[in-house]
Amino acid sequence: MQVHIGSLTLRNPVLAASGTFGYGDECKELVDVNGLGGIVTKSLSLKPRDGNPPARIVETASGMLNSIGLANVGVDRFIAEKLPYLRTLSTAVIANIAASTVDEYCAVLSLLEAQEGIGAYEINVSCPNVKEGGLSFGTNVAMTAQITRRLRPLTKKPLILKLTPNVTNVGEFARAVEGEGADAVSLINTVVGMAVDARKKSPKLSTVTGGLSGPAIKPIALAKVYEASKAVKIPLIGIGGIMTAEDAVEFLLVGASAVQVGTANFIDPATGLTVATGMARWCEQQGVARVADLTGALEVSTEFSVLRTWL
Amino acid sequence: MMILRAPVVSLRSVGPDMYVLSLHAPQIAANVLPAQFLNIKATDGSEPLLRRPFSVYRTQGENVEILFNIVGAGTRILSRLRPGDLVDILGPLGCPFSLESDFRTAVLVGGGLGVAPFPHATNALSRSSRQIRTFLGARSSPHILRDHLQNVSVATDDGSEGYHGTVVALVRNALESGSIDRPKIFGCGPEPMLRALARAAIDLGIPCEVSLESVMACGIGICQGCPVERTGGEKKYSLICNEGTVFDARTIKFS
Q: Residue B214: closest CA among chain A residues belongs to which residue?
A: A55
Residue A114 lies in a domain: yes
Report the number of distinct structural domains present in chain A.
1
Domain limits, CATH 2.40.30.10, in chain B: 2-93
- CB proximity B7 to A under 8 Å: no
| A27, A106, A127, A283: the active-site residue | A127
pLDDT tens column, B20-29: 999 999 999 9
pLDDT tens column, B116-175: 999 999 999 998 889 999 999 999 999 999 999 999 999 999 999 999 999 999 999 999
CA gap B134, B153 in Å, rounded: 6
Residue A18: CB partners within 8 Å, gap ≥ 6? A40, A41, A42, A43, A96, A122, A124, A162, A260
Residue A13 lies in a domain: yes
Q: What is the mean pLDDT of residues B81-110?
A: 95
> Which pLDDT does position A132 carry in this prediction?
66
Quick check: B218 and A61 CB within 8 A? Answer: no
Contacts of B49 in chain A (CB under 8 A): 59, 62-64, 214-215, 263, 267
Tell me which of 3.10.180.10, 3.40.50.80, 3.30.70.260, 3.40.50.300 is the CATH number of domain B105-211. 3.40.50.80
Domain limits, CATH 3.40.50.80, in chain B: 105-211
Residue A89 lies in a domain: yes
CB A228 within 8 A of CB A187: yes
> Which pLDDT does position A311 carry in this prediction?
65
Q: Residue B235: closest CA among chain A residues belongs to which residue?
A: A50
Q: What is the 3-state secondary structure (H, E, C) of B192-225?
A: HHHHHHHHHHHHHCCCEEEECCCCCCCCCCCCCC
Residue A31 lies in a domain: yes
Quick check: A56 and B3 CB within 8 A? Answer: no
pLDDT tens column, B162-212: 999 999 999 999 999 988 999 999 999 999 999 999 999 999 999 999 999
Residue A199 lies in a domain: no
Q: How far is CA B192 from CA A137, B66, B112, B138, in A?
A: 40, 23, 12, 13
Residue A35 lies in a domain: yes
pLDDT-derived band at B234 (thresholds 50, 70, 90) equals confident
Other CB atoms within a 10 A radius of the CB of residue A109 amount to: 23
**Which CATH number do you get for residue A224?**
3.20.20.70
Q: Is position A283 annotated as part of the catalytic site?
A: no
Q: What is the mean pLDDT of residues B206-226?
A: 96
The domain in which residue A142 lies consists of 3-51+70-192+213-309
Instruction: Give the CATH number of domain B2-93.
Output: 2.40.30.10
Residue A64 lies in a domain: no
Picking from A21, A22, A50, the nearest residue to B237 by CB comes out as: A50
Stretches in chain A below the pLDDT threshold 70: 131-133, 303, 309-311
Task: List, as one string, the DSSP characters of chain A.
Answer: --EEETTEEESSSEEEPTTSSTTSGGGTTTS-GGGSSEEEPSPB-SS-B--PPSP-EEEETTEEEE-----B--HHHIIIIIHHHHHT-SSEEEEEE--SSHHHHHHHHHHHHTSSS--EEEEE---TT-SSSTHHHHT-HHHHHHHHHHHGGG-SS-EEEEPPS-SS-HHHHHHHHHHTT-SEEEE--PEEEE-EETTTTEESSTTSEEEEESGGGHHHHHHHHHHHHHH-SS-EEEESS--SHHHHHHHHHTT-SEEEE-THHHH-TTHHHHHHHHHHHHHHHHT-S-GGGGTT---------GGGGT-
